[in-house]
Amino acid sequence: MILVSLAAAAAPGPLEREFRLAAAEHEVPVELLYAIGWEASHLNPVAESTWGGQGMFDFMEADETGGPSLEAASALIETNPNLVARAWPLQVRGAAALLADYARVHNGGSLPSRGDLDAWQSAVSAFSGREEPAHQAMYVKYVYELLQDGFVADTSMGEIRVDPQAVNPERGAPPPASGDSSLNDQFVAAASCNYSDYSRAAGDIDMVVIHTVQGSYSGCYSWFQNCDAGASAHYVVRSSDGAITQMVWEADVGWHAGNWDYNLRSVGIEHEGYVDDCSYYTDAMYRESAALTADIAARQGVPLDRSHIIGHNEVPDPDGSGYGGSGHHTDPGDCWDWDYYMSLVGGETGDPTGEIVGFVRESDIYNESGNLVGATVWIEETGDTTTVSAAGLYEFPGLPYGNYTIHADVDGYLEGTCAAELTSSQQWCSIALFPGEEGDTGPSVDTDGPGDGGTDDLPNPGKPVMIDEVDAGCGCDAGATAAGAASVAVGLLFARRRR
């Protein structure tokens, strides 16, 4: 049964209305339709999974596998696939039609009773789009566990409540639990083409990297068994109850960090969900994941602190152009509660830290040929000192969040400064130095606003680099691979918007 308030019963929200209309049109159980959409995306009509799935039901295009067919669903409701991918009511109608079509195929041309949910399991198995019988069985199990437990979908288009149903999820039994951790619910091996066969031992591993899937639990382990992925993590954790699937032995090297050095020294844990949907980060997920991290740390000797238990967004790009590995990923995202997680792990939450980086250049921070290599840079508040690298960059890592004043000087130039407020893993603060001798006043800062004439309109040598200023002043393509140091910085700033 679907539980709704009296007000909702009198005036159902648009989501409930469309689901009920589609379920009635195609004679499928509305509870089951809800559960399939919740398992795939938490009923998010604009979801885009890591493996290419689209919309509320993780529809896949014809040349892709691992999910329900977008083309098949569109054909059944006689609609263009592009429209279905963009319009959520069509997604709901297409999913209902596809489920009914599979039910007829598996029931001699007729539909099972809508009141007998277990009789629809064969249709759900086919709807999954998975090719391996084991994958189909696990998909069915997860959908029917949602029905068995019930769930609440609190969406922008109204709240949906599914009451616990009398169903038998065990008809799709998972593989037996095994692997490195006693906390595993199952071991499903990733394809050998998606990880490196190693023999790491305690002492070789000193980090745990936390990820967000950008997709569903069942979709993730199916993806890691597909050589097209070119990726894998050691563990995957489910949102609803914290169930754990191990996919790569800890002795082997998973391809999860986008940085080979970090892959070699770490264990990767994926978490079901999307970085911009906080509903996935449940207490059950936090608790089971934290217990897993603590277990890994105890066996492998990983220190329980934020320098060794990190997010994917904190993994350096191996080419030096930013963080989040080579793909500049942002997971686990702003929804992830690090303080709570580390308290559950039993480690030190500590104060968050980040780094301040920037260029030191002659006269203009956008002057790519004006890098002042070897210039001395220091922080007024801490006294920390460094020098500018061959790329024209300085870097102060491991700084507690706060406000800092950065100074730079080199022979033949006036000292310059910039102010930085560090509130995330990285803050840029570039400095332009102007030729001159000690005692010169140098160019003044415009205090009256731009365009009033005079020398006070010269660039401020202490000007921090902001994203919109880089976009306006660089003239480069932020999405392309940068050839120069300035382009690298812009690419970093824009790439950090992605997962």
Question: What tens digit of pLDDT does each residue of 177-231 get?
Answer: 789 999 999 899 999 999 999 999 988 999 999 999 999 999 998 999 999 999 9
Give the pLDDT band (50/70/90) at residue 66: confident
Count of CB atoms within 10 A of residue 307's CB?
A: 13
Q: Do 12 and 49 belong to one domain? A: yes
Q: Tell me phi and psi for residue 343, to 5 degrees.
A: -65, -35
Q: Is the pLDDT of residue 32 over 60?
A: yes
pLDDT tens digit sequence for 414-468: 999 999 988 766 789 999 999 987 666 555 433 333 333 333 333 333 334 433 3
pLDDT for position 444 = 43
Q: Is the pLDDT of residue 263 over 50?
A: yes
Residues 6+ apart with CB under 8 A from 162: 2, 3, 31, 34, 35, 38, 146, 147, 150, 151, 152, 153
Looking at the whole model, is its pTM more than 0.85? no
Assess if residue 154 is contained within a domain: yes
Rounded to an integer, what distance in angstroms lies between the CA atom of residue 80 and that of residue 74? 6
Helix, strand and coil in the chain, % to nearest 5 = 35, 20, 45
Closest to 297 in 3D by CA, of 286, 307, 282: 307
Assess if residue 491 is contained within a domain: no
Q: Do 158 and 180 belong to one domain? A: no
Q: Do 327 and 406 belong to one domain? A: no
Domain of residue 125 covers 6-170
Closest to 172 in 3D by CA, of 212, 211, 136, 220: 136
Q: Is the pLDDT of residue 92 over 90?
A: yes
Q: Do 51 and 145 belong to one domain? A: yes
Name the burial class of residue 449, with classes exposed (0-12), middle (13-18) and buried (19+) by CB atoms within 10 angstroms of its CB. Answer: exposed
Q: Tell me phi and psi for residue 344, to 5 degrees.
A: -70, -35
Give the pLDDT band (50/70/90) at residue 172: low
Residue type, 191: A
Residues 6+ apart with CB under 8 A from 127: 36, 68, 95, 98, 99, 102
Q: Do 134 and 206 belong to one domain? A: no
Q: Is the pLDDT of residue 484 over 50?
A: no
DSSP 159-186: EEEE------GGGGPPPPP-SS-TT-SE
Rounded to an integer, what distance in angstroms lies between the CA atom of residue 100 and that of residue 120? 9
Q: How many helices (H) and strands (E) does the chain have?
A: 14, 18
User: Half-sphere exposure of 308 toward its Cβ, with a 13 Å CA cutoff?
Assistant: 19
The residue to which tokens 């080979």 are assigned? 260
Assess if residue 399 is contained within a domain: yes
236 with 217: CB under 8 angstroms?
yes
Q: Is the pLDDT of residue 54 over 90?
A: yes
CATH of the domain at 331: 3.40.80.10
Would you state the torsion angle of the CA atoms of residues 111, 115, 121, 127, taken in this order, to the nearest 10 degrees?
A: 60
Assess if residue 191 is contained within a domain: yes
CATH of the domain at 34: 1.10.530
Q: Where are the beta strands (DSSP E) in 259-415?
A: 266-271, 309-311, 353-362, 376-379, 385-387, 393-400, 402-409
Look at 90-94, 365-369, 380-384, 450-454 and tell me which has the smallest mean pLDDT: 450-454
CATH of the domain at 379: 2.60.40.1120
Q: Is the pLDDT of residue 325 over 80?
A: yes
Instruction: Identify any residues that bridge with 426 across adjacent strands, giving them in sequence order.
Output: 355
pLDDT tens digit sequence for 230-244: 999 999 999 999 999
Closest to 209 in 3D by CA, of 257, 250, 245: 257
Assess if residue 481 is contained within a domain: no
Rounded to an integer, what distance in angstroms lies between the CA atom of residue 28 and that of residue 25? 8
**What value does the CA radius of gyration of the chain take, rounded to a whole number of Å?**
27
Which two tokens mark 313? 């967004």
Higher pLDDT, 1 or 269: 269
Q: Do 20 and 158 belong to one domain? A: yes
Assess if residue 492 is contained within a domain: no
Last residue of a domain, one of 345, 372, 407: 345
Which two tokens mark 172? 């799709």
Look at 4-8, 158-162, 431-435 and tell me which has the smallest mean pLDDT: 4-8
pLDDT for position 351 = 62
Last residue of a domain, one of 315, 345, 375: 345
Assess if residue 295 is contained within a domain: yes
Its sign, for the CA torsion 339, 341, 343, 349, is negative
How do 416-422 and 158-162 pair as beta strands?
Answer: unpaired
Rounded to an integer, what distance in angstroms lies between the CA atom of residue 342 and that of residue 393? 33
How do 353-362 and 393-400 pair as beta strands?
Answer: antiparallel
258 with 326: CB under 8 angstroms?
yes
Rounded to an integer, what distance in angstroms lies between the CA atom of residue 254 and that of residue 39? 25
Rounded to an integer, what distance in angstroms lies between the CA atom of residue 224 and that of residue 141? 19
pLDDT tens digit sequence for 300-316: 999 999 989 999 999 99
How many domains are there within the chain?
Answer: 3
| Cis amide prior to 443 (ω within 30 degrees) | no
